[in-house]
């Protein structure tokens, strides 16, 4: 049985986020990356550039964004 991976979750120490995310995106996989997105603006910009080139999705996991209290505050 062959399993194909659609999405990779990057849950590593912060300083690995950018490098690992870029590698996964270049392998044409979607990425869920824990926050912070990167340790510098330059790294974050590179991640955005590569996600656009790859045509994949990148979500930065702000876990509280979908809970009821933050959603109420936003409204």
Domains of the chain: which residue ranges?
Answer: 7-74
Residue 61: pLDDT over 80? yes
CATH architecture under which domain 7-74 falls: 3-Layer(aba) Sandwich (3.40)
Residue, of 67 and 41, whose pLDDT is higher:
41
Closest CA to 33 of 5, 42, 23: 23
The whole-angstrom separation of Cα 15 and Cα 61 is 16
Dihedrals phi, psi of 45, to nearest 5 degrees: -60, -40
What are the pLDDT digits (tens) for 39-56? Answer: 999 999 999 999 999 999
């Amino acid at each position: 049985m062959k399993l194909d991976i659609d999405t990779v979750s990057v849950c590593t120490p912060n300083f690995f986020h950018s490098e690992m995310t870029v590698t996964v995106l270049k392998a044409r996989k979607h990425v869920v990356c824990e926050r912070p997105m990167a340790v510098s603006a330059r790294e974050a910009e590179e991640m955005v550039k590569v996600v656009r080139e790859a045509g994949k999705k990148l979500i930065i996991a702000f876990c509280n964004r979908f809970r009821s209290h933050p959603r109420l505050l936003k409204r």
